């Protein structure tokens, strides 16, 4: 599902990448940008937390040329002279004027890095209204943004994600090159699909999914957390390789009554011993339980 989202086959909407201090979602965001540029889409990047030098480090030259960079990093609050873009310009009219210069009929992707900075300075309702306007259509086909979910109140994160068509939550994986993305996608029909995938991002910003997505039941609402796998962190081995299984199957268990055993018992060979016991009258045999430790 991650790959489909990056390829843009699902068609627009508002995509939010939620990250935390444990794993930054910025590289994934770059992969989205690069994929969109490869599709020949017009990409506008509104950057509050990312400076151009870093962008150059991440993307190659041909990509950079086709990307429209709006510098909201240098002076987001207007403390210096002539701010290029301030956070208070994050309203529909201002955004429209930013995006209108391109008159091609190509779909526009607006990338925002990050919502967290905006949410720190504008009221949540104003941000939500603007996002809703963007989602509704007009010039922008896809809006894509990063949200540091651990910096805000849970309810604020919830209300932003409520608007989104897709929410990607990224977290670090078990190995250092890996990460885990949990995707929740809401189709127009109201169908909810979820997937949890392991992925890694290579140097050229392409995303490789490492394991088959786990399709969690499709249904309305009920986006309960995926069960934690209790077998994930065991100190012993629960699974068997094919070889081990074969070896295990070969092993004859002591209590299994096999043909060989049966024949060995029925036809005792020569020289085998045998215990004979005949109780006699002097045997000390009583019905009582003198130690009182039996359950009679």
Q: Nearer Cβ to another protein, position 77 or 252?
A: 77
Nearer to another protein, 30 or 37 (CB): 30
Percentages helix, strand, coil for the chain (3-state, rounded to 5) are: 30, 25, 45
Among 11, 22, 211, 247, binds another protein (CB under 8 A): 22
CA distance linking residue 41 with residue 113, whole number of Å? 18
DSSP 8-state secondary structure symbol assigned to residue 23? B
Nearer to another protein, 55 or 195 (CB): 55
* Candidate list 66, 88, 121, 135; residue touching another protein; CB under 8 A: 121
State the Cα–Cα distance between residues 11 and 142, nearest whole angstrom.
Answer: 8
Closest CA to 19 of 11, 29, 32: 29
The backbone region for 271, taken as left when phi is positive above 0, alpha when psi lies in -120 to 50, beta otherwise, is left
Q: Taking CB under 8 A as the rule, does residue 177 contact another protein? A: yes
Question: Token digits for 136?
Answer: 């509704």
Q: Which of 32, 73, 90, 199 binds another protein (CB under 8 A)?
A: 73
Is residue 132 within 8 A of residue 164, CB to CB? The reply is no
Give the count of residues interacting with another protein (CB under 8 A).
32
Among the candidate windows 67-75, 161-169, 208-216, 217-225, which touches another protein by CB under 8 A? 67-75
219 makes contact with another protein (CB under 8 A): no
* Sites of contact with another protein (CB under 8 A): 21-24, 27, 49, 51, 53-54, 57-58, 73-77, 79, 116-117, 120-121, 148-154, 157, 172, 176-177
């Amino acid at each position: 599902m991650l790959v489909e989202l990056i390829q843009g086959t699902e068609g627009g909407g508002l995509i939010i990448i939620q990250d935390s201090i444990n794993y930054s979602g910025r590289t994934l965001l770059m992969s989205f940008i690069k994929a969109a540029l490869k599709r020949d889409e017009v990409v506008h990047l509104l950057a509050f937390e990312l400076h151009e030098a870093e962008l150059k480090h991440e993307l190659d030259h041909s990509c950079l040329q086709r990307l429209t960079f709006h510098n909201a990093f240098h002076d987001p609050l207007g403390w210096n002279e002539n701010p290029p873009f301030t956070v208070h310009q994050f309203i529909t009219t201002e955004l429209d004027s930013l995006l209108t210069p391109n008159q091609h009929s190509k779909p526009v992707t607006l990338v925002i890095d990050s919502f967290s900075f905006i949410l720190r300075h504008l009221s949540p309702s104003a941000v939500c209204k603007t996002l809703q306007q963007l989602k509704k259509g007009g010039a922008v086909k896809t809006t894509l943004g990063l949200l540091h979910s651990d910096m805000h109140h849970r309810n604020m994160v919830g209300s932003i994600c409520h608007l989104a068509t897709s929410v990607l939550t990224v977290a670090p994986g078990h190995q250092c090159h890996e990460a885990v993305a949990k995707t929740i996608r809401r189709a127009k029909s109201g169908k909810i699909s979820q997937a949890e995938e392991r992925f890694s991002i290579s140097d050229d910003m392409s995303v490789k999914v490492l394991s088959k997505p786990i399709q969690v039941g499709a249904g309305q609402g009920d986006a309960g957390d995926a069960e934690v796998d209790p077998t994930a962190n065991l100190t012993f081995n629960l699974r068997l390789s094919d070889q081990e299984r074969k070896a295990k199957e070969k092993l004859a268990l002591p209590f299994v009554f096999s043909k060989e055993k049966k024949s060995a018992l029925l036809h005792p060979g020569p020289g085998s011993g045998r215990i004979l016991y005949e109780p006699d009258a002097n045997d000390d045999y009583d019905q009582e339980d003198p130690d009182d430790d039996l359950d009679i």
